[in-house]
Amino acid sequence: MTDDREQTVLYEVRDRKAYLTLNRPERLNAITFEMARDIKAAVDRANEDPEVHVVVLQGAGRAFSSGYDLKRYAEAGESFQPPVWDPIQDFAMMKGNTDNFFSLWRSLKPTIAKVHGYAVAGGSDIALSCDLVVMAEDARIGYMPARVWGCPTTAMWVYRLGAEKAKRMLLTGDTIDGRTAADWGLVVDAVPADELDSAVEKLADRMAGVPINQLVMQKLMINQAYDNMGLQGTQILATLFDGITRHSPEGRWFREFAATYGFDEAVRWRDSGRWIPNGGGDVPTATQLRAED
């Protein structure tokens, strides 16, 4: 965060609150490996600051986060998905990202995600790693790569929603708006978009008035219950499955499709409900693409 490369996460402290801002607005805060590392660095910085009681995570521009930068990693990312899959190398890479996201959950100090626009795909992993999530009513959250080329590595859908509603989301790849997310118990609250800032400030200020020792002990006690339920083991399995989804026959097909037609077209195909070849197969011709529209 202090070198000459892109500042993917901005850091500011005001009134006992550390504000972490995902800062790739031109790409709807699409995730890079650098951003994942910068999130952890910012969380560590807030935990080391005795003036900080609460951490607020937000996104610059029009969205919280649109997920991994598929233009980099699906359209042209051979380093992300090389021709020969090394499952342990892949696991180590994605486990590192998951651990960086989950620094928000493991943070001693409480974390609040302020979600506007979109928190989808890997962006939902980041938001759901926070202790509390407040959404704009018109914001969208979901994990569309569940249809092909992804498994949510933090596994927080099931821990926040329970089995049935987690299956409802991950067996369809659908997104839901903030009001539905609040009604289902996925997030703590949803408010009109023009009230989002004030709602988060009110909640953060209420928590910021609690001594740090008290905040830490309450959070550790609650988190321990999830650890006892097998959270870490579930994340290991989810991270392995994520690698498999990207290297299955249909995952390889999706990657080739993105390389041929661009990631926008690949995502449009994936999320439309049109067929996805179960056994891989040839990438459609332009004529076939038009026929499917």
Give the Cα separation of 217 and 202 in Å (integer): 22
CA–CA separation, 186 and 46 (whole Å) = 25
- pLDDT for 80 equals 64
Strand stretches in the chain, DSSP E: 9-14, 17-22, 54-59, 111-115, 118-120, 132-136, 140-142, 175-177, 189-191
pLDDT of residue 77: 56
User: Going edge to edge, which strands form the sheet with 140-142?
Assistant: 118-120, 140-142, 175-177
Q: Are 76 and 194 in contact (CB under 8 A)?
A: no
- In contact, 284 and 97? CB cutoff 8 Å: no
The confidence score (pLDDT) of residue 258 equals 87
* CATH T-level fold of 9-245: 2-enoyl-CoA Hydratase; Chain A, domain 1 (3.90.226)
First and final C-alpha spacing in the chain: 44
Planar angle of CA 48, 114, 43, nearest 5 degrees: 15
Q: Give the model confidence (pLDDT) of 164-191 as tens digits.
A: 999 999 999 999 999 999 999 999 999 9
Enumerate the CATH 3.90.226.10 domain ranges in the chain, comma separated: 9-245
- SS3 of 236, please? helix
**CA-derived radius of gyration, the chain:** 19
Predicted local distance difference test score (pLDDT) of residue 281: 61
Among residues of the chain, what percentage have pLDDT more than 70? 90
Q: Are 9 and 18 in contact (CB under 8 A)?
A: no
Nearest to 8 by CA among 30, 130, 135, 61: 30
The low-confidence residues of the chain, meaning pLDDT below 70, are 1-5, 76-81, 278-293
pLDDT tens digits, residue range 128-164? 999 999 999 999 999 999 999 999 999 999 999 999 9
Q: Is residue 133 within 8 Å of residue 113, measured between CB atoms?
A: yes
Alpha carbon distance 284, 290 (integer Å): 10
The pLDDT value recorded for residue 129 is: 98
